[in-house]
Structure 1
Amino acid sequence: MPESSPPPELPVRLLTDPEMIKACRLRDFALVFRMVKKHAGIYPSMIARRCDLTPSRVGEVMAAKRKLLHMDVVERISDGLRIPGHMLGLSSRTWESLPERSATDREPPSRPTESSASSSTPTRDVDDVLASVACTSPSASTVQALRSSIEDYWRRDDEHGGEALRPAVIGQLRYVENLLTQSRGDGVRHGLLGVAAELARLTGWTHFDSRQFSQARLYFGQALRFAKDIDDRQFMANVLACMSLQATYQDRPTDALALATAAQDHARSISGTPRVLSMLSMREAFAHATLGSRSGAHAAISEAHRQFERILDSDSDPSWVTYFNEYKLTVDTGIAHARLGEAEIAEPLIAQALHRESSTNQRGRAFHAFWLARTQLQQGKLEQACHTAVNALTPASAVTSKRVTGHLREFSVQLSPHRDEPAALAFDSQLRQVLPACVSGSPRP
């Protein structure tokens, strides 16, 4: 937003009004905007400026002619109007962690001086105007350039985590949505919808990796809608597989299994490639393992390997599944056995795959080293497990991934019965130095 100082808070009586609470929960922004105008004196032009919307768009929303559904818009409304994140189904916003000020401390924002109003770059309002009149004509090369940037995003996500990438990805998603309004050719529009689906899935993934599950689910839903518009059932299966994995993290194994099964149904309906079907079978195996179904997990693992053996060099795999190679099949097989508590089977598989892990995939190295340490601890190999876990700290500290730090925290808790052993003390000391946030608090689900 253009303002240099944060916007003032909404009156407490408005935020505690049952009608306002219900309107926020339903994301009925027509009512939210009307109540903000009536009870806080924030008129449509101010709402537009605070939330980075056009006045006409705000007017359409207040007249119930338009709805605001995109996640980034909901976040801008939360930040612009100072509506606490939980009221809109979001995680706590960054400004909510700031120290609360008393009513006497709150001063009206000062009018900007001429010097403070000037800037070396245009305001976002001006950028929007310039973008709206730009002579853009999306073409096949535009789609290809966007796909290349997505590949780069995924590479950097592996190397550094997705937290810092998310604003850029969301910005590019908004850009593609704008291009869709200008596209005339069916072929280019089809390509842009595919790109939008991939960007929405990537955004959902970055939220999932940060354990912001509600936001992840919303973006995954958006990705499904884009893919459905072009009837890309293989990509829909991919998104459902992501949602299945998230459900295992939320301790909802029944949902995870239903989503994995639906993903396979979509892929099989169009004769999906063996690599896609192999990856989806591994997602099913994870779900069965989380449920504690040994027979179901073993059957799904066998199917994953059977499908993988059918892969041919001539297969036209979608780009998003090429990561699922023999190494990935091996490590996922090990993790599935580890989830079942079959540590003796899991350990050599994970160790073999970890040895072949790319040095640039920092999150993968940390994640798989955790699973290896866990299987070693399950077998009573305390010193070996702690040594493996210490080796996981370097790649874990190189990425911003709450999934990874959450797993390390779980391992730290699992070490509790051995807390006085030298190996456990050495790991705990290293953990406190490298990732102190993992030491405090209990593991998340």
Structure 2
Amino acid sequence: MPESRRTKELPATLLTDPEMIDACRVRDFARVFRLVKARAGIYPSMIARQCELTPSRVGEVIAGQRQLLHMDVIERIADGLRIPGHMLGLARREWETPPALAEREPPGPLHPPAGLRPLAALPGVEVDSILALAAGAKPSPSTLQALRSSIEDYWRHDDEHGGETLRPAVVGQLRYVEGLLKGRRPTPMQNGLYGIAAELARLTGWTYFDARQYQQARAYFSEALQLAREIDDHPFMANVLACMSLQATYQDKPADALALVSAAQDQARFASGATPRVRAMLAMREAFAHATLGDRKATHDAISEAHSQFERIHEGDSDPAWVMYFDEPKLIVDTGIAHGRLGEAAIAEPLIADALVREDPANQRGRAFHALWLARTQLQRGKLDQACHTAMEALVPAAAVSSERVAGHLREFYEQLAPYREVPAALAFEARLRAMLPPPGQRTPSSIRT
């Protein structure tokens, strides 16, 4: 049906009303049309237009003078009024899967380099000239501090809105710092620039990972490793390897995930700068890998190690800035997720619920992830109504952040509801989902942040 002819969604309260369900079941369109008029404000003339019927025919149906029996007409009514197919004894309609949950093809490969890029490799003479001038400048300690501060801003923006929109700025800054690295500078300054470039490369990789563009993510993570190796920053190398391990769990490559986190722990053992917080974070990533493999004992052992290391944290620890996100709520929610990956929903549910209450409201992506994990565990425990309610709460932060990983979690939960499509709670969730998450090309700030 052309977009211009579509009407608003029927309210969830109408689709879940027993009278409406019964009227649809027996295909009593006189009752259906009367309910649509009374409860949704869609009048006969509008019904006729939406369903490609004549107004007189709709009037005859409402008056009980005509029945609608032809399948093509019933399908037009389902599509025109957005009545789920199963309510009318039809197959699931194409529009019932919200466009926001449709799989999106990733863009073609961008071929980021495996190592540092020479200035000549950058596109455009003008850009080369500008960066050459920048490389000739003499950065000061305040330059390093400004760059580190901008990285903190990038990470905050990534949590609140997703990394896709900030990626061009991050890549531009990465190129700028790589240009500065071409000059000869005192060792402390040069090492500081290498560290900043490594963090920018990791952040770029993270934005690709969050967009589920895994090949690009791996290339930038590899570049971050190379930059960190230049200055023997073993804790940071452990951090990058931990990111790559997490990506492997998303790619359903648990053996790779375990190998990568084991390498990360080797780097941490080699480094004097690996604080208890760093070791706790790495142990939790190990738990994720074991849980994905289905190894219950190894998962429980890794969880215990994470909590043991976390208990050793002291206020005076010199934790690197990049690990400060791993606080107590994060430890608890990750513990719940690890149990959830093992199918231990009864253990996972209260842990995730507790952490969600204490999570920073500004971390939109985290709140969306964790609420969907909570909904998943509730569904596994047979708490359908509660699971759908939790998932509806997750839609608010999910709509506010641009993240294909969030969309993937939402899609998985949506697919897990397939056996319950006719249950009122599931119908209400689907209606809310379509209302809050319009097709990606139609999103506007006002439509995704209500």
Q: TM-score, normalised by structure 1?
A: 0.71
Gaps of at least 5 residues in structure 1 are 1-23, 28-66, 81-123, 439-445
What is residue 286 of structure 1 aligned with on the other side? Answer: 288
- The answer to whether the 8 A contact 1:71-1:215 is kept is no
Within-5 A mapping of 1:369-408: 369-408=371-410
Q: Deviations over 1:94-137 (max 9, x none)?
A: xxxxxxxxxxxxxxxxxxxxxxxxxxxxxx64454244245510
Distance in 2 between the 1:415 and 1:68 partners?
A: 42
Q: Deviations over 1:320-354 (max 9, x none)?
A: 00110111100000000000000010001000000
- Supply the distance in 2 between the matched residues of 1:159 and 1:146 (Cα, whole angstroms): 20
User: How does 1:21-40 map onto structure 2 within 5 Å?
Assistant: none
Give the partner amino acid of 2:356: L
Letter in 1 for 2:199: E
1:424 to 419, 426, 433: 426
C-alpha distance in structure 2 between counterparts of 1:154 and 1:259, whole Å:
23
Distance in 2, matches of 1:71 and 1:159, equals 30
Alpha-carbon distance in structure 2 between the residues aligned to 1:200 and 1:151: 14
Give the conservation status (yes or no) of the 8 Å contact 2:113–2:219.
Answer: no
Q: Secondary structure at the match of 1:433?
A: helix
Change (3 A) 1:194 1:387: same
CA gap 1:71/1:185 in 2 versus in 1, 3 angstroms: closer
Which letter maps to 1:330? I
Distance 1:428 1:174, change over 3 A: same
Relative to structure 1, the CA distance from residue 133 to residue 206 in structure 2 (aligned partners, 3 Å threshold; closer, same or farther) is closer
Aligned partner letter, 2:428: A
Q: Distance in 1 between matches of 2:324 and 2:390?
A: 28
CA offsets, 1:76-106, max 9 Å, x none?
99xx8xxxxxxxxxxxxxxxxxxxxxxxxxx
Q: Which aligned pairs between 1:13-412 and structure 2 lie closer than 5 A? A: 69=114, 125-126=125-126, 128-133=128-133, 136-271=137-272, 272-412=274-414
Distance in 2 between the 1:411 and 1:427 partners? 11
Contact 1:138 1:183 in 2 (8 A): no
Q: Could you tell me how far apart the structure 2 residues matched to 1:71 and 1:246 are?
A: 23
Structure 2 distance, partners of 1:269, 1:239, is 15
Q: Percent of aligned pairs with the same residue?
A: 66
SS at match of 1:332: helix
- For 1:424 and 1:169, locate their aligned partners in 2 and report how far apart those are by CA, in whole Å: 40
Distance in 1 separating the partners of 2:289 and 2:130: 49
Distance 1:163 1:292 in 2: 32
Q: What's the secondary structure of 1:251's corresponding residue?
A: coil
Q: What is aligned with 1:100? A: none
Shift of 1:435: 2.1
Q: How far apart, in 1, do the equivalents of 2:378 and 2:191 lie?
A: 49
Between the aligned partners of 2:133 and 2:248, the Cα distance in structure 1 is: 43
Structure 1 CA distance for aligned equivalents of residues 377 and 236 of structure 2: 33
In structure 2, how many angstroms separate the alpha carbons of the residues matched to 1:248 and 1:287? Answer: 7
Query: In 2, Cα distance between the equivalents of 1:262 and 1:308?
Result: 20
Instruction: Say whether the 8 Å CA contact 1:397–1:434 is kept in structure 2.
Output: yes
Which amino acid letter does the alignment assign opposite residue 409 of structure 1? R
**Counterpart amino acid of residue 332 in structure 2:** T
Compute the displacement of 1:69 (Å). Answer: 4.5
Q: Secondary structure at the match of 1:290?
A: helix
> Partner letter of residue 376 of structure 2?
R
Segments of 4+ in structure 1 off by > 4 A? 67-73
Q: Partners in 2 of 1:389 and 1:162 — Cα distance?
A: 23
CA contact (8 A) 2:238 2:263 kept: yes
Amino acid at match of 1:142: T
C-alpha distance in 2 between matches for 1:251 and 1:437: 27
- Please report how far the alpha carbon of residue 432 of structure 1 lies from its aligned counterpart in structure 2 after TM superposition: 1.4
Alpha-carbon spacing, 1:428–1:235, altered in 2? closer, same or farther (3 Å): same
Quick one: distance in 1 between partners of 2:246 and 2:439? Answer: 25
Across the aligned residues of Structure 1 and Structure 2, the Cα RMSD in angstroms comes to 2.3
Does structure 2 retain, via aligned residues, the 8 Å contact 1:159–1:399? yes
The residue type equivalent to 1:410 in the other structure is E
Matched residue of 1:181: which SS? coil
Decide whether aligned partners of structure 1 residues 219 and 131 sit closer, same or farther in structure 2, where only a CA change above 3 A counts: closer
- How far is 1:182 from its partner? 2.1
Contact 1:72 / 1:170 at 8 angstroms: preserved in 2? no
Contact 1:159 1:361 in 2 (8 A): yes
Distance 1:254 1:130, change over 3 A: closer
Asked whether the equivalents of residues 287 and 298 of structure 2 are also in contact (C-alpha less than 8 Å), the reply is: yes
Counterpart for residue 103 of structure 2: none
CA–CA separation in structure 1 for the residues paired with 2:328 and 2:423: 38
Mapped contact 1:351–1:372 kept (Cα < 8 A): yes
The CA distance in 1 between the partners of 2:314 and 2:133, in whole Å, is 48
Give the letter aligned to residue 205 of structure 1.
W
After superposition, what is the alpha-carbon deviation per residue over 1:288-308, rounded to whole angstroms, capped at 9, x for unaligned? 000000000000000000000
Q: How many residues align?
A: 329
Q: Distance in 1 between matches of 2:407 and 2:368?
A: 9
Contact 2:245 2:260 survives alignment (8 Å): yes
Report which of the two structures shows the higher radius of gyration computed on alpha carbons: 2
Deviation at 1:265, TM superposition (A): 1.1
Note the C-alpha offset of 1:72.
Answer: 8.7
Give the direction of change, closer, same or farther, for the CA distance of 1:303–1:429 in structure 2 (3 Å limit): same
Give me the whole-angstrom Cα distance separating, in 2, the residues matched to 1:399 and 1:365.
Answer: 10
After TM superposition, give the deviation of residue 138 of structure 1 in Å. Answer: 1.4
Is contact 1:137-1:182 (8 Å) kept? Answer: no
SS in 1 for 2:182: helix
